[in-house]
Structure 1
Amino acid sequence: MLDRAQAHAADVAAEHFPELPIEAIKWTVSHRAQRMAGKTTYHPKTNEITISLTWNAFEQHNWEQFSSTVRHELPHARQY
């Protein structure tokens, strides 16, 4: 899932957010989250941006639906 999400994010960022350093974003999978599909966090001490995707949402939705979560998180990452 993460490989596909990262590749999709790179494609979307190249087209819509070329200034976003997509290679600097850390990606994780949450196996515990139940109420969200994705979350972007910023760590001000390290300037690290992390996008966490929820395994439960990935399993419940097809790729077309889940890929919208990846696209949704990119503007959040861009704001940092």
Structure 2
Amino acid sequence: MTDGERLTLADEILARARIHAREVVDEYDLAVDLAALEWTVSKRAKRRAGACRWDAARETATIVLARRAYERYEWPAFAGIVRHELVHAWEFQRFGESGHGARFREAAARLDAPRHCEEFADPRYVLRCLGADCDWTAKRHRASKPVKAPDRYRCGACGGSYEVEHAASGRIWTTASGYGGAKAALGDDW
């Protein structure tokens, strides 16, 4: 860093994550090749606190960490996300694939890494089954096809129809025209 340069929040996130990764590799004897590991920060991520991508041609794993998750979580929780993604990197480097199966669960438990991360952003939409005995719900951050036209889809659990709620306003619709009406009515508050 030269005089006049300022560190960004992304720089802070990456520095802390890299330091923690070195500590984890040493402490838990996790066979991750840190030299073949790249790091980046996503400013856009709203659902996933982290991700690990594998480039088989380069044999390089890239860990992507969400800036919003870093801002929302305390460091111990965010460090758990780093450990979670390190398990994926280890699996990719060693086996060429990664998932959340038994091998992942065993390694994650050894590192005290969460199997799944808590949500760090409130959903924009909530889908709910209207079936009498069904309690299926799903959260969405984007206006997916089922959000825009719920009448064209059925509940995966019971086959019933469902409704969609715009979380911020409480407006509910069950049809494509209902979606359009809610969007028009809310205008700038959409």
| Same fold? TM cut 0.5 | yes
**What is the match of residue 50 of structure 2?**
38
The match for 2:22 among 2, 6, 10 is 10
Contact 2:36/2:59 (CA < 8 Å) preserved in 1?
no
4+ runs deviating over 6 angstroms: none
Higher strand share: 1
Secondary structure of the residue aligned to 1:65 is helix
The match for 1:58 among 57, 70, 78 is 70
Q: Which has the higher contact order (CA 8 A, sep 6+)?
A: 1
**What is the match of residue 70 of structure 1?**
82
Q: Which runs of 5+ in 2 are unaligned?
A: 1-12, 93-190
Deviation, structure 1 residue 48: 1.4
Instruction: Tell me the TM-score normalized by structure 2.
Output: 0.41
CA distance in structure 2 between the partners assigned to 1:10 and 1:23 by the alignment = 11
Higher helix share: 1
* Identical positions, percent: 39
Q: Which amino acid is 1:44 matched to? A: A
Q: Which runs of 5+ in 1 are unaligned?
A: none
For these two proteins, the number of residue pairs brought into alignment is 80
CA distance in structure 1 between the partners assigned to 2:32 and 2:60 by the alignment = 13
